[in-house]
Structure 1
């Protein structure tokens, strides 16, 4: 599946409507972003079941701010709308493949239970 560009208007829907979503926050002037782009594209071709999205932080400053982006590239991984991975820096292809495998292998019932526990604990404070 080719990568898609997402905006402030489409971010939430993209993350919530797709099972697994990887989001690459990048900018045209960023050297490491340009080095990571072909790796991201190549890996996306191997995983048609994963949505690979890109956010241009220059054009979409609002979403970059809301996401707390402080360095680029930054990669986020979501599954069932839950943020599971958030890391600045380009990943080599092998590590990106490992990340996708880890996200696919997660027991989401267990993850959702832990999120619910954390939310309950936060409300109790």
Structure 2
């Protein structure tokens, strides 16, 4: 599956309506964003079961502000609507693949149950 550009209006529906979502916050003037884009796109083609979303921080300034984006690129990973990863900086391909596998392996229900038991 290719990457898809999303807007503030789509954000919550995408996050909550899909099992796993990776969101790349970027801008057209950002050099590291441009260098990370092919890695993000290539990974999207390897993982059709994961939604790869892109948010243009220039076009979606309110969303970027609400997500507390302080530097770009910033990558967020969600599973079943829960934020599992939030980190600025472009990841190399191997690190992105490792992150995706960790998100796939993470048991959200067990983590929530454990948190509620505390």
Tell me the TM-score range normalised by the shorter chain.
Answer: over 0.9
Give the paired residue count.
Answer: 118
1:63-111 residue CA offsets vs partner (Å, 9 max, x unmatched): 0000000000000000000000000000000000000000000112212
| Rounded Cα–Cα distance in structure 1 between residues aligned with 2:83 and 2:99 | 13
Aligned-residue RMSD, C-alpha = 1.2
User: Which TM-score applies when normalising by structure 2?
Assistant: 0.96
Residue aligning to 1:90? 90
1:18-64 residue CA offsets vs partner (Å, 9 max, x unmatched): 00000000000000000000000001100000000000000000000
| Rounded Cα–Cα distance in structure 2 between residues aligned with 1:94 and 1:78 | 19
Aligned to 1:29, the other structure's residue is in SS state: coil
| Rounded Cα–Cα distance in structure 1 between residues aligned with 2:60 and 2:115 | 28
| Structure (1 or 2) with the larger CA radius of gyration | 1
User: Which TM-score applies when normalising by structure 1?
Assistant: 0.91
Unaligned runs of 5+ in 2: none
